[in-house]
């Protein structure tokens, strides 16, 4: 065991743990987080996804010592009591059934839209393809990603009027 | 020893997962209801701190855990001083909105606003035993008692108000939990003022829980305000913001982690365990084994995983191969001697052949005879989250935190398994990964309880991916042979359906002699119980027919990863795949349009007692064809060329009293064999719709689940073990496969228009039933090639295309 320092959802934690421990177990069992979940432990399903500096990674196959950056989990997405636009779209589209996979779907969608704010249908499907839902909510997930992309584009153009004028 | 009281954090979480999202979340997610609340009530309705759990009439904190008495009104609901109400129902919610639908119906009967209520589900010490979930019967059967007790509470409250005001009940009005005098609306009293925080002490009647009733009747459908509306599901916000505590999230003081070590091959016998192979793992506690059941227990979860992987165990292989390989499965099933032609097979029945008319004679004299064989493999649940259980053995009792869809039978089963008094055991249902029948045989719950009793500390056990995919309960494999005969005019005059099903020892509902840990310990039921194999359910009028299903068994009946259990609509997708594919073959042989051919069969007779179901069948088939824009012509489509071939196919089925017709539009890639279902249409009649959007969500998931089973899923095994053990070796439907368009039509009804009182029928399963057949029929339409073996994986379709030269 040794001390590992992690920055998670804006807070810094020092944990006494075997540094090879997959990040998933540290987040769940040492830090008490619920967003990332165990689905396969093999990097195949996405249920354990967290963001590290905005990129979606699979915490079940990431050694805790290998994390270099700030971790955001599902519970760390909302700011000032406001849900992330992707979370809001998930509620508006009433996406989850059991909900077990939805952490991975939401985190992956956020990272996708961050890289590609306006994905084509093919890009959306490919970008989300590695995250499995066994309740088969794919149809609604895709609708929610499109809705979130629109909402985020609206936000950007709404708050960025001044900047846009400069660009014109 | 810590107390058996449920930690406060979990109590709060339970409240969230059972029904309350915080006021803030509610306002955010469903502003439409804010209008219906007065400001005053909003102020005191409270957030997640105002406790459903804490204000319940009885909140047991220690054993004995008595069964809530369903003949007491107070067992079903409690009115609080702040005018909120807690409902207690003995169902669970796998994510299809059962809880929201119950809350809508009960609020309607009680005349309160949706957001005045919370709902506690599936907690054996607090909620009446409605059996948990299964069979798509929540709204069809169990909701009636819940509605009647809510109506009874309203009646009693009106009586109280009548007494208080000295005004007869029919001079009172009630809305959103406020009773006023009709002639003087300034005089009013709230439910909370009348009975808040106190018990009703009203006795109900009914010979069993489903018959529970008070004096009051339920409202006519026309008077329902919340039923029929797409209220947002109350459990969704907390599933999206990460605040929901699931069964897998519960952490108890002093809790330890366990992982199972499974036999490497089916039927292996444990010879010895070398505990020294893992003794140096930090936090290692113990290896627990009995019979062929082995588990390791460690302080930390990842160490338990490591220990299970590294533990050296010596096993002895069985001398006889436990089963044929999956490549050889259907040949084996067709040549095996079936088990029995009689009904004397334990508590379940094996249907005898059902014969109408004289099928053999009719086939002999038919103008055209078609014969075909169909195969449907074993399929698993392969839940996204592997099986999980957490058991707390403190103070001589046992509390199990579980997502078991049938918590009541888990409680009884565990008590029997551990030889504990039932009153010392309780199960607290919490949200978890999908159920669909898997958690009705809650292996992990039994394991956690067994290990907790052995270790004397709370034990959390979760299966690993390979373990879940290999060892979960399986939907049975079928091998079918069908023969059909047409007369000179192309009418289907004879149908001979013969099925063989590998479903010899079907796992029951949390039975202490059929769950996996019991099997591995050498416990056996007195007699194996074959599953309730059923023939395709349709309403076709065919004068001569035979339907026969025979059970076949493998050498190994127990301790096998091919143990069968209920998988969403247990036999429907398999039998309907064969039945409705074959109807399409007969339509093609008659050179008839597939929709018209079916309608002709449905209209073929009116002289029987199935008129009602037949009329509703016709209605869904017509509605699906209309919604799709069906072009009337026989299959296959002529002049289909190019790399991508397109086609459409229809299939229809009945399940219980729900009728479904579905049309799939496919694109078949001639070069790769890949099938993409681009569009699905589903016409659905389950009677009264409680929550249209909730139903649409359920159907969408069901259709895609059906597609996954039609296109991808298959348990693969050699002659000693399952080889499909993860998401690479066991493919599933993914984002790229989702249809572009899903159109759902609610037919709701009706041969007799304007019949509002058609009750709700089950909807959790029926729409998965016709999917595989609709897709197979569409592939035929596109390519002229009939795929008679599921799943329609690209390599199989490609091989069939190449074989036919298409
Ligand atoms: S649990 Fe990490 S990818 Fe499946
Ligand atoms: S919502 Fe259940 S697995 Fe995706």
Unique residue bearing structure tokens 């099903």: B501
The pair phi, psi for residue B122, each rounded to 5°, is: 55, 35
Query: Which of B432-446, B516-530, B773-787 has the largest mean confidence?
Result: B773-787
Instruction: Output the residue whose Cα is nearest ligand 2's atom 4.
Output: A133
Q: Is residue B658 classed as helix, strand or coil in its secondary structure?
A: strand
Tell whether B299 is within 8 A of chain A (Cβ): no
d(CA A135, CA B92): 16
Tell whether B734 is within 8 A of chain A (Cβ): yes
Does pLDDT of B755 surpass 70? no
d(CA B735, CA B384): 15
User: Cβ contact (<8 Å) for A22 and B248?
Assistant: no
User: Cβ contact (<8 Å) for B735 and A138?
Assistant: yes
pLDDT tens-digit series, residues B661-711: 999 999 999 999 999 999 999 999 999 999 999 999 999 999 999 999 999
Give the pLDDT score at B62: 85
Does pLDDT of B644 surpass 80? yes
The pLDDT mean for chain B works out to 90
Instruction: Output the residue whose Cα is nearest ligand 1's atom 3.
Output: A43
User: Which CATH number does A85-157 carry?
Assistant: 1.10.150.120
Inter-chain Cβ pairs, chain A and chain B, closer than 8 A: 175
Least Cα separation, residue B246 to chain A (angstroms): 8
pLDDT tens-digit series, residues A104-124: 999 999 999 999 999 999 999
Question: CATH 1.10.150.120 region(s) of chain A?
Answer: 85-157
pLDDT band at B56 (very low <50, low <70, confident <90, very high): very low
Chain B positions in Cβ-Cβ contact with residue A31 (cut-off 8 Å) = none
Does pLDDT of B451 surpass 60? yes
Interface test with B, best of A138, A144, A147 (most B CBs within 10 A): A138
Give the pLDDT score at A166: 34
Does pLDDT of B605 surpass 90? no
Give the pLDDT score at B799: 97
Arithmetic mean of pLDDT, A54-82? 95
Q: Answer for the pair B723, B717: CB distance below 8 angstroms, yes or no.
A: yes
pLDDT band at B49 (very low <50, low <70, confident <90, very high): very low
Query: Which class is A2-76 in CATH?
Result: alpha beta
Q: Answer for the pair B570, B535: CB distance below 8 angstroms, yes or no.
A: no
* Among B123, B10, B103, B146, residue whose Cα is nearest residue B403: B123
* Among B153, B127, B139, residue whose Cα is nearest residue B213: B153
Q: Is the ipTM reported for this complex over the cut 0.90? A: yes
Ligand minimally distant from the alpha carbon of residue A140? 2
CB atoms closer than 10 angstroms to residue B114: 22
pLDDT band at B42 (very low <50, low <70, confident <90, very high): very low
Q: What is the pTM of this model?
A: 0.92
* Among B272, B94, B132, residue whose Cα is nearest residue B702: B94
* Among B804, B455, B775, residue whose Cα is nearest residue B647: B775
pLDDT tens-digit series, residues B132-157: 888 888 888 889 999 999 999 999 99
Give the pLDDT score at A155: 82
Using CA coordinates, name the residue in chain A closest to B728. A44
* Among B479, B487, B478, B597, residue whose Cα is nearest residue B538: B597
The H-or-E segment that residue B655 falls in is: strand B644-655
pLDDT band at B10 (very low <50, low <70, confident <90, very high): low
pLDDT tens-digit series, residues B414-439: 999 999 999 999 999 999 998 899 98
CA angle B749, B753, B756 (to 5 degrees): 65
Question: CATH 3.10.20.30 region(s) of chain A?
Answer: 2-76
Give the pLDDT score at B18: 42
Query: Closest partner residue to B465 among A40, A75, A142, by Cβ?
Result: A40
pLDDT band at B7 (very low <50, low <70, confident <90, very high): low
């Amino acid at each position: 065991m040794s001390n590992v320092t992690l920055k998670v959802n804006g807070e810094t934690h020092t944990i006494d743990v075997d540094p090879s421990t997959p990040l998933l177990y540290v987040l769940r069992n040492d830090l008490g987080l619920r967003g990332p979940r165990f689905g396969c432990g093999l990097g195949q399903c996405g249920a354990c996804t967290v963001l590290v500096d905005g990129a979606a990674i699979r915490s079940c196959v990431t050694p805790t010592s290998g994390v270099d950056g700030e971790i955001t989990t599902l519970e760390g997405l909302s700011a000032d009591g406001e849900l992330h636009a992707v979370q809001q779209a998930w509620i508006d589209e009433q996406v989850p059934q059991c909900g077990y996979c939805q952490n991975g779907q939401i985190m992956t969608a956020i990272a996708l839209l961050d890289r590609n704010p306006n994905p084509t249908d093919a890009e959306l499907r490919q970008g989300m393809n590695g995250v499995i839902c066994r309740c088969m909510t794919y149809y609604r997930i895709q609708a929610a990603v499109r809705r979130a992309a629109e909402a985020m584009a609206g936000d950007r153009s709404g708050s960025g009027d001044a900047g846009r004028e400069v660009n014109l | 020893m810590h107390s058996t009281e449920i930690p406060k954090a979990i109590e709060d979480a339970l409240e969230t997962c059972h029904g309350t999202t915080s006021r803030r979340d509610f306002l955010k997610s469903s502003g439409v209801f804010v209008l219906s609340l007065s400001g005053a009530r909003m102020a005191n309705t409270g957030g997640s701190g105002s406790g459903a759990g804490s204000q319940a009439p009885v909140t047991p904190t220690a054993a004995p855990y008595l069964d809530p008495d369903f003949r007491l009104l107070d067992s079903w609901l409690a009115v609080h001083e702040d005018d909120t109400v807690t409902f207690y129902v003995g169902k669970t919610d796998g994510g299809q909105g059962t809880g929201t639908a119950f809350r809508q119906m009960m609020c309607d009967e009680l005349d309160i606003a949706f957001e005045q209520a919370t709902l506690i589900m599936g907690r054996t010490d607090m909620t009446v035993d409605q059996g948990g979930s299964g069979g798509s019967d929540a709204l069809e059967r169990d909701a009636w008692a819940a509605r009647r007790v809510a109506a009874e509470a309203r009646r009693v409250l009106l009586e109280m108000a009548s007494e208080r005001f000295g005004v007869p009940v029919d001079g009172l009005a009630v809305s959103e939990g406020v009773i006023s005098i009709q002639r003087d609306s300034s005089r009013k009293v709230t439910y909370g003022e009348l009975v808040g925080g106190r018990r009703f002490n009203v006795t109900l009647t009914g010979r069993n829980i489903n018959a529970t009733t008070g004096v009051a009747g339920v409202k006519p459908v026309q008077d329902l305000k919340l039923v029929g509306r797409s209220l947002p599901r109350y459990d969704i916000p907390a599933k999206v913001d990460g605040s929901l505590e699931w069964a897998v999230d519960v952490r108890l003081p002093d809790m330890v982690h366990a992982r199972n070590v499974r036999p490497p091959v089916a039927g292996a016998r444990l010879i010895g365990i070398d505990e020294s192979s893992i003794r140096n793992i930090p936090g290692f506690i113990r290896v627990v084994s009995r019979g062929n059941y082995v588990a390791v227990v460690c302080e930390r979860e990842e160490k338990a995983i490591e220990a299970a992987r590294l533990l050296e165990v010596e096993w002895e292989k069985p001398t006889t191969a436990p089963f044929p390989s999956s490549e050889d499965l259907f040949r084996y099933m067709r040549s095996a001697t079936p088990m029995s032609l009689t009904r004397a097979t334990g508590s379940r029945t094996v249907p005898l052949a059902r014969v109408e008319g004289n099928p053999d004679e009719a086939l002999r004299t038919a103008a055209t005879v078609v014969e075909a064989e169909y195969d449907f493999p074993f399929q698993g649940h392969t839940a996204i989250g592997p099986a999980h259980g957490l058991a707390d053995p403190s103070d001589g009792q046992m509390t199990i935190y579980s997502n078991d869809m049938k918590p009541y039978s888990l409680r009884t089963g565990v008590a029997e398994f551990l030889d504990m008094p039932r009153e010392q055991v309780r199960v607290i249902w919490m949200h978890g990964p999908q159920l669909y029948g898997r958690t009705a045989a809650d292996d992990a719950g039994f394991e956690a309880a067994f290990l907790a009793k052995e270790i004397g500390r709370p034990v959390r056990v979760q299966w690993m991916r390979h373990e879940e995919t290999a060892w979960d309960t399986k939907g049975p494999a079928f091998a079918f042979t069908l023969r059909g005969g047409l007369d000179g005019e192309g009418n289907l005059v004879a149908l001979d359906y013969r099925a063989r099903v590998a479903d010899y020892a079907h796992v029951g509902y949390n039975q202490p002699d059929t769950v996996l840990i019991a099997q591995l310990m050498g416990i056996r039921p007195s007699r194996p119980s074959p599953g309730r194999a059923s023939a395709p359910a349709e309403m076709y009028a065919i004068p001569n027919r035979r339907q026969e299903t025979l059970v076949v068994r493998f050498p190994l009946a127990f301790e096998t990863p091919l143990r069968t259990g209920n998988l969403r609509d247990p036999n429907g997708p398999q039998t309907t795949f064969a039945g409705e594919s074959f109807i399409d073959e007969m339509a093609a042989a008659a050179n008839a349009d597939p929709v018209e051919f079916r309608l002709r069969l449905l209209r073929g007779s009116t002289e029987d007692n199935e008129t009602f179901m037949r009329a509703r069948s016709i209605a869904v088939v017509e509605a699906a064809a209309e919604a799709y824009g069906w072009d009337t012509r026989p299959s296959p489509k002529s002049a289909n060329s190019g790399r991508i071939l397109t086609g459409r196919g229809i299939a229809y089925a009945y399940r219980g009293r729900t009728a479904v017709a579905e049309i799939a539009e496919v694109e078949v890639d001639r070069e790769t064999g890949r099938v993409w279902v681009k569009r699905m249409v589903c016409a659905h009649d389950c009677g009264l719709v409680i929550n249209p959007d909730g139903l649409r969500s359920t159907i969408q998931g069901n259709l895609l689940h059906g597609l996954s089973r039609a296109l991808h899923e298959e348990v693969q095994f050699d002659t000693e073990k399952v080889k499909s053990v993860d998401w690479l070796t066991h493919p599933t439907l993914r984002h790229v496969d989702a249809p572009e368009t899903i159109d759902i039509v609610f037919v709701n009804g009706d041969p007799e228009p304007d019949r509002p009182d058609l009750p709700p029928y089950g909807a959790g399963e029926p729409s998965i039933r016709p999917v595989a057949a609709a897709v197979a029929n569409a592939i035929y339409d596109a390519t002229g090639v009939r795929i008679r073996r599921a799943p329609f994986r690209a390599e199989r379709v490609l091989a069939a295309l190449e074989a036919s030269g298409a």
